[in-house]
A and B are shown apart, each in its own frame.
Chain A
Amino acid sequence: MSTFDNPFDPARRLRAGACSCGQHASQSEHEATLQLSCDIPETEDKRYEGVVASAVMRAVFPKEIARRAFLKSVGASSALAALSQFFPIKTATEVFAQGAGKLEKTDLKVGFIPITCATPIIMADPLGFYAKQGLKVEVVKTAGWAVIRDKTINKEYDAAHMLAPMPIAISLGLGSQPIPFTVPAIENINGQGITLAMKHKDKRDPKDWKGFKLAVPFDYSMHNYLLRYYLAEHGIDPDTDIQIRSVPPPEMVANLRADNIDGFLAPDNICQRAIYDGVGFMHILSKEIWDGHPCCSFAASKEFITTSPNSFAALTRAIVDATAYASKAENRKSIAEAIAPAAYLNAPPVVLEQVLTGTYADGLGGIKTDAKRVDFDPFPWQSFAVWMMTQMQRWGQIKGDVDYKGVAEQIYLATDTAKVMKEMGLTPPTTSYKSFAVMGKTFDPEKPKEYLASFKIRKAT
């Protein structure tokens, strides 16, 4: 049910769930309005009255069929008159207009994994970005990617921090039941690195890495795809020449110290933590593989979006707002302090500062500076999703063909985010596909099949 519907129209559904914004009876109607949205809006009072009346109708007739039957038999005007008899719609409308509490749900739970990628989600809590949108959000630290996936699917969390390819994997049913998920915002871009054990400090050429054991945080992660891509470009087959293991981030540093692995491509603060503890050095930043690559995403189930569209929009606004704040270099130091305590990342502030400001010790005695080591840009480019699917196919996670654009547009909500950004006075990109280069090789989102076919090293099918 939208703000603009007539609740006394028997043909109209009162509950949301029909279109992606929840304001129209069907998706086609939603698109039609978007194309010709030049109708004159009603007055604000009239709109509020509609909202209140529909709430009353919903309460009186919890069953859709009963309401329709009632309206058909008595007619809309007598129904309104009858309702007004025992419920003061006029007064209620006035009260409602003052409060304007249109959020379906204000107490939300958002899960996160304690790494710097989660910065916007976390800092929005202590720095008050959720409160600004009228939301009371509890950010909950979670043990691992599989757990965060299951808890979000089980609706313990309304939304969560996920690796950028995870919502695609969940929606396609890879490694779990297929459940439609969406990505309204990318949390961070860049912000990963390849860290190697100190004993390999002379083996800087990946060609010498045959037989290495390397770790990534999760199978469906940019980390995995970037590491495989990097190795393959250097002529190493990641499936046969080396071993890639899925290891939870904190155990990576411990394993590196214990000599169980030779290195890892990990999310930051883990790379810097290994350097801080003197067990590893930074081989390259992931930025050097693909500058501006997505890393983690902010994800919610399709169900949450359709049942609570306004809360979802408010949440998206809060995240976009927080991301914009985090992208400014001058704010980075204060962010590092805000997210370091035990309740959030639980990491030494000096480590977080090095990650966020980009002035860092490389582990070999030098200090390097790269302000874009990690950056924040919320726009969910659909071409990112298409690239991820080509890599999922390349490494055998997806068997057979994929409708690249169809899936990307279902999951990466570029249009909706662009709308939110516009409302906030930001200027989103006008298109949702862009071409980019990964290690000098250009990716054209219009030709994913050709791109996939161009790789020599890939999993044998």
Chain B
Amino acid sequence: MIQSLRFRAAVVSIAIFLAFIGVWHLATRQTASVGTMSPEYAKLMGLTATSGKSAMPGPLDVGAKLWEHLKRPFYDNGPNDKGLGIQLAYSIGRVGLGYLIAVIVAIPLGFLIGMSPLMNKALDPFIQVLKPISPLAWMPLALYTIKDSSLSAIFVIFICSVWPMLLNTAFGVAAVRKEWINVARTLEVGTFRRAFTVILPAAAPTILTGMRISIGIAWLVIVAAEMLVGGTGIGYFVWNEWNNLSITNVIIAILLIGIVGMLLDQILARFTRMVTFPE
């Protein structure tokens, strides 16, 4: 039964995909007729103006362009023009670094907050105010104070991805069942040992859920950050192609950003399953 459900879901997915492509194709076909123009004039104009080609690329244009990129993902034509593979690698590197710093900060701090009701109450207002700030709002401040654009990008990833982890860690630690802690106390387990052998395993699923939310946010932020910082990364690629009004390339970048984001999320989801325990 499960097998057939999966099968049916796959069929429906493919049908939705095909329908979407079909509608997209129809919507972007050659449209209005165009007025006549002299051949010399037409030579100076773009396809949209001369042949009535839609300004929005169709699925065939995107497919052809995507194939072109996939054929040579790692070319390097100097500082302003690199292959998509290299751009993605830069972005993943930046996200990885910013995220790692966030993990290093958020988990110990979350533990502290979770284990101490006083700190929990005291830090709460700060966290609540800082949490909803958009990466674009942090960027000018970071650029101005850090005075280095690549460090600013990493800082922005850090500051935006730290909060869900912090809150989830604190919540997970605070919500460990009192019986377990009491048992540990009865057995005279020291504070450190208690933290690592009782609280950490018990809170791990919640912490990892926080980490999973955070990696999603970090990946969201990277595009905005790189658009401003420039130079390398998938965000820069989007901005550069936007500059050239190449919607085809922008669509390809959107597709790739989605796929990479999904992969990152799946990796964290797998980790979460590894530490989950039945009660």
- Chain A interfacial positions (CB closer than 8 Å to B): 114, 138-143, 146-147, 150-151, 154-156, 249-250, 253-254, 257, 273, 275-278, 341-344, 346-348, 350, 354, 360-361, 365-367
Pick the contact of B243 from A114, A350, A354, A360 — CB < 8 Å? A114
Q: How far is the CA of A436 from the CA of B272 in the complex (A)?
A: 72
B81–A366 CB distance below 8 A = no
Pick the contact of A142 from B46, B49, B55, B230 — CB < 8 Å? B230
Pick the contact of B79 from A140, A250, A348 — CB < 8 Å? A140
A140–B231 CB distance below 8 A = yes
What's the minimum C-beta distance from A193 to chain B, rounded to whole angstroms?
15
| Residue in chain B with minimal CB distance to A272 | B44
B81–A250 CB distance below 8 A = no
9 pairs of residues in contact across A and B, judged by CB atoms under 8 Å: A143-B228, A146-B140, A147-B229, A151-B143, A154-B149, A250-B243, A253-B245, A275-B45, A343-B77
What's the minimum C-beta distance from B144 to chain A, rounded to whole angstroms?
7
| Residue in chain B with minimal CB distance to A151 | B149
The verdict on A360 contacting B81 (CB below 8 Å), with A140-B231, A143-B230 known, is no
A277–B228 CB distance below 8 A = no
The verdict on A361 contacting B41 (CB below 8 Å), with A114-B243, A143-B227, A346-B243 known, is yes
What's the minimum C-beta distance from A396 to chain B, rounded to whole angstroms?
23
Interface membership of B179, Cβ < 8 A: no
B49–A277 CB distance below 8 A = yes
B143–A277 CB distance below 8 A = no
A348–B46 CB distance below 8 A = yes
List the A side residues contacting B242 at CB < 8 Å. Answer: 250
**Given A154-B143, A343-B79; 5 other pairs, CB 8 A cutoff:** A142-B230, A143-B227, A147-B143, A154-B147, A350-B43
| Residue in chain B with minimal CB distance to A176 | B144
Pick the contact of A156 from B37, B48, B149, B227 — CB < 8 Å? B149
**Which residues 37-91 of B have a CB within 8 angstroms of A?**
37-38, 40-41, 43-46, 48-49, 55, 77-81
| Residue in chain B with minimal CB distance to A146 | B140
List the B side residues contacting A273 at CB < 8 Å. Answer: 245
| Residue in chain B with minimal CB distance to A122 | B80
The verdict on A361 contacting B230 (CB below 8 Å), with A154-B147, A344-B80, A346-B240 known, is no
Q: How far is the CA of A342 from the CA of B76 in the complex (A)?
A: 11
B45–A276 CB distance below 8 A = yes
8 pairs of A and B residues whose beta carbons are closest in the complex: A278-B49, A343-B81, A361-B44, A154-B147, A343-B80, A276-B46, A342-B81, A346-B244
Interface membership of B24, Cβ < 8 A: no
Q: How far is the CA of A178 from the CA of B49 in the complex (A)?
A: 46
What's the minimum C-beta distance from A356 to chain B, rounded to whole angstroms?
13
**Which residues 203-254 of B have a CB within 8 angstroms of A?**
227-231, 239-245
Q: Main SS of the interface on chain A?
A: mixed
What's the minimum C-beta distance from A354 to chain B, rounded to whole angstroms?
6
**Which residues 155-176 of B have a CB within 8 angstroms of A?**
none
Interface membership of B148, Cβ < 8 A: yes
A141–B80 CB distance below 8 A = yes
Q: How far is the CA of A347 from the CA of B44 in the complex (A)?
A: 14
| Residue in chain A with minimal CB distance to B144 | A150
- Chain B interfacial positions (CB closer than 8 Å to A): 35, 37-38, 40-41, 43-46, 48-49, 55, 77-81, 140, 143-144, 147-149, 227-231, 239-245
What's the minimum C-beta distance from A441 to chain B, rounded to whole angstroms?
34
Q: How far is the CA of A143 from the CA of B229 in the complex (A)?
A: 7
List the A side residues contacting B81 at CB < 8 Å. Answer: 341-343, 346
Q: How far is the CA of A428 from the CA of B273 in the complex (A)?
A: 74
Q: How far is the CA of A366 from the CA of B81 in the complex (A)?
A: 35
B48–A140 CB distance below 8 A = no
B228–A141 CB distance below 8 A = no
What's the minimum C-beta distance from A247 to chain B, rounded to whole angstroms?
13
The verdict on A147 contacting B230 (CB below 8 Å), with A342-B77, A350-B44, A361-B41 known, is yes
List the A side residues contacting B239 at CB < 8 Å. Answer: 143
List the A side residues contacting B41 at CB < 8 Å. Answer: 361, 365-367
| Residue in chain A with minimal CB distance to B36 | A365
List the B side residues contacting A275 at CB < 8 Å. Answer: 45, 49
Q: How far is the CA of A98 from the CA of B49 in the complex (A)?
A: 60
A277–B243 CB distance below 8 A = no
B37–A277 CB distance below 8 A = no
What's the minimum C-beta distance from B87 to chain A, rounded to whole angstroms?
12
B244–A347 CB distance below 8 A = yes
List the B side residues contacting A348 at CB < 8 Å. Answer: 46
What's the minimum C-beta distance from B5 to chain A, rounded to whole angstroms?
44
The verdict on A354 contacting B77 (CB below 8 Å), with A254-B245, A257-B55, A365-B37 known, is no
Q: How far is the CA of A276 from the CA of B45 in the complex (A)?
A: 5
What's the minimum C-beta distance from B196 to chain A, rounded to whole angstroms?
43
A342–B240 CB distance below 8 A = yes
List the A side residues contacting B77 at CB < 8 Å. Answer: 341-343
A154–B148 CB distance below 8 A = yes
| Residue in chain A with minimal CB distance to B227 | A143
List the B side residues contacting A346 at CB < 8 Å. Answer: 81, 240-241, 243-244
B143–A150 CB distance below 8 A = yes
List the B side residues contacting A367 at CB < 8 Å. Answer: 40-41, 44
List the A side residues contacting B35 at CB < 8 Å. Answer: 365
Q: How far is the CA of A41 from the CA of B106 in the complex (A)?
A: 66
Pick the contact of B44 from A139, A147, A156, A354 — CB < 8 Å? A354
What's the minimum C-beta distance from A250 to chain B, rounded to whole angstroms?
4
| Residue in chain A with minimal CB distance to B243 | A250
List the A side residues contacting B78 at CB < 8 Å. Answer: 343
- Residue among A257, A346, A360, A367 facing the most chain B CB atoms (10 A cut-off): A346
The verdict on A278 contacting B48 (CB below 8 Å), with A150-B143, A347-B244 known, is yes
List the A side residues contacting B55 at CB < 8 Å. Answer: 257, 277
What's the minimum C-beta distance from B135 to chain A, rounded to whole angstroms?
14
Q: How far is the CA of A273 from the CA of B244 in the complex (A)?
A: 9
Q: How far is the CA of A270 from the CA of B37 in the complex (A)?
A: 22
B228–A147 CB distance below 8 A = yes
Q: How far is the CA of A437 from the CA of B168 in the complex (A)?
A: 67
Q: How far is the CA of A357 from the CA of B55 in the complex (A)?
A: 27
Q: How far is the CA of A343 from the CA of B228 in the complex (A)?
A: 17
Q: How far is the CA of A83 from the CA of B23 in the complex (A)?
A: 83
B231–A277 CB distance below 8 A = no
Pick the contact of A278 from B45, B79, B230, B240 — CB < 8 Å? B45
List the A side residues contacting B80 at CB < 8 Å. Answer: 139-141, 342-344
Q: How far is the CA of A423 from the CA of B135 in the complex (A)?
A: 50
